[in-house]
Amino acid sequence: MHNRPKRLIWVMLAGNLLGAVITQLYFSFIDYAPRSSTRGLSWPEIVFFVLGFAFVGGVGFIAGRRWARPVSDAGLRDPSAVTPLARRRALLLPYALAGFTAIGWVMAGLVWGVLWQIIAGRFAVMVSVRQIVGITFIAGTVTTAFIFLAVERRWRPTLARLFPEGGADAVAGVPRFPVRARLLLIFVVTSLVPLLVLGMLAYTRAAALVGAERAAADALVGNLLVLIIFLLVVGAAAAIGLSVFVSASVAEPLGAVQAAMGEVERGNLDARCAVVTNDEIGAVAEGFNRMVRGLRERERLRETFGQYVSPEIRDEILAGRVALDGSLAEVTILFADLRDFTAWVEVSDPREVLRDLNAYFTAMEGALRRHGGLVLQYIGDEIEVVFGAPVPALTHADMAVAAALEMRRRLAEWNDQRTRLGKPAIRHGIGIHTGMVIAGNIGSKDRRSYALVGDPVNLASRIQGITKEFGADILISGETRKRLTEPVQLVTLPAVRVKGRTEEVEVYGLA
């Protein structure tokens, strides 16, 4: 279940309470010289601590809730209803809560370093400065870093819901926290701050040892040892905790990208990465999602293209191994046309005609594609097909004849089904011719199609037209017969003269 801003505000309060308790214990039992000459906590100090934290924490809680109000629960349930302001506030939430934490520690430094010293009647400038520095700059810095990293990590699943399509880096007014800066900050907090504190303690204790009596000197050395052990324990815990947070903030989203890459490698193109930051890692996740969208679009293109050509031809074209800018090639062209189509349309319901026509085309195209044919276009009830282009094939004539024979068989099976349903049988005529054509992309700059140009195209269409004269369903030209390498049963027919040609054309029927 996703986090709500209110829950993260409680995380902020809990983290600050832990930091305040450790700081209070440090100044009361470990390094008590800045606050008094006695070790321990008095009841007035405990009451003042509770009231002071309640005041500072209450101010931070109210400010945090008011600031996060645009990121409403309703908006979290319905990300589409989230306003641009809410999206910006959602991205800024870790920064805002860390900022409220930093302000709270500044207030705590003033309350304990000034106000309490005045109430206790022992105000001293150097003592107050030392306590303010210890509370605000030492404890406050570490706690603020903890709050930022903890809130950011717990808030990431919600950010993924608010930005399902990414775009976090496009939101204006949101700072980027690069990975390099993140690592540098943790290095400063976990390395330089403890060294600075140890250095200051060593110097102050060494200065106090000058001229001190033996008993006092022994006490100072013993106290310094306790200070070092305390700082090592707390520093190590802080360093480990902050390192775990910052490493998780980098490793988890990168692990998600790696897992998504594994899904894509296994063929799952619906895989995506949640974009949970606006830094370099978020950019990597968004880039991965864009890449997968591109792969999905390419796969859709591949599948769509595969509806027009056979898978083998599709793969050759998409791989760039086929030139589509025009080339001279010997091919075999097939035209198929329905008989008495006009009369059928006049006596039939248009919707039924369209359904039957689509069913016929589906059956015929299955036969054509099975034998390597490329359907160039559907012209009303006519089909134009080429064999041997755009992918060259030495046996293009055999492929065309085999496709025509299978079209005959499939039409007979389809007519048997129609007859059982009480529908009339449908007949068609097929003409096949082989010759040299120019094959390539033809059209305007906005719309193109793969087409053939040359007299063999017209002749193939004419041969299809004369199937009616011979009462045959499949006719092939003499040129196609010459290119056949497989034996087929042919019926020799008288040579005919077709429209647009002066010479007679040699034709054969397929038995």
What secondary structure does DSSP assign to 252-290, as a single string?
HHHHHHHHHHHHHHTT-TT-------SSHHHHHHHHHHH
The confidence score (pLDDT) of residue 435 equals 96
- DSSP strand pairing (490-492 vs 428-443): unpaired
Contact 71, 81 (CB under 8 A): no
pLDDT on residue 192? 75
Q: Compute how many other C-beta atoms are within 10 angstroms of the C-beta atom of residue 253.
A: 22
Instruction: Compute the C-alpha angle 180/184/186, nearest 5°.
Output: 120
Domain ranges of the chain: 1-162, 324-510
Q: Which superfamily is assigned to 324-510 in CATH?
A: Nucleotide cyclase, GGDEF domain (3.30.70.1230)
d(CA 371, CA 401): 9
Reading the block at residue 367, the tokens are: 């036969």
Q: What is the rounded CA–CA span in Å between residue 210 and residue 230?
A: 24
Count the neighbouring beta carbons within 10 Å of the beta carbon of residue 165.
10
Nearest to 489 by CA among 476, 470, 506: 476
Q: Show Cβ contacts of residue 98 under 8 Å, excluding neighbours closer than 6 positions.
A: 144, 145, 147, 148, 151
How does pLDDT run across 157-192, given as a tens digit for each residue?
A: 888 877 777 777 778 888 888 888 878 877 877 777
What does the buried/exposed string (b/e) look like for 196-229 if buried means 16 or more CB atoms within 10 Å of the residue's CB? ebbeebeebbeebeeeeeeeeeeebeebbeebee
Asked whether the beta carbons of 139 and 23 are under 8 A apart, the reply is yes
* 365: enclosing H helix or E strand: helix 350-370
Q: How far apart are CA 53 and CA 111, in angstroms?
A: 10
To 10 degrees, what angle do helices 125-132 and 84-110 make? 150
What pLDDT was estimated at residue 219?
74
pLDDT of the chain along its 511 residues, tens only? 455 777 888 888 888 888 888 888 777 777 655 555 556 677 888 888 889 888 888 888 888 888 888 876 545 556 666 778 888 888 888 889 999 999 999 998 888 888 888 887 777 787 788 788 888 888 888 888 888 888 888 888 888 877 777 777 778 888 888 888 878 877 877 777 777 777 777 777 777 777 777 777 777 777 777 777 877 787 788 778 878 878 888 888 888 888 888 888 888 888 888 887 778 888 888 888 888 888 887 777 677 666 655 566 667 666 666 666 778 999 999 999 998 877 777 878 888 889 999 999 999 999 998 999 988 889 888 999 999 988 889 999 999 999 999 999 999 999 999 899 888 888 999 999 999 999 887 877 777 778 899 999 999 999 999 999 999 999 999 999 999 999 999 999 999 988 877 788 999 999 8
pLDDT value of residue 266: 85
Q: State residue 476's pLDDT score.
A: 97
**What is the 8-class DSSP label of residue 167?**
-
Model pLDDT, residue 447: 75
pLDDT at 74: 46
pLDDT score of 1? 41
Alpha carbon distance 488, 173 (integer Å): 77
- List all residues 6 or more positions away from 175 whose beta carbon is below 8 Å from its beta carbon: 95
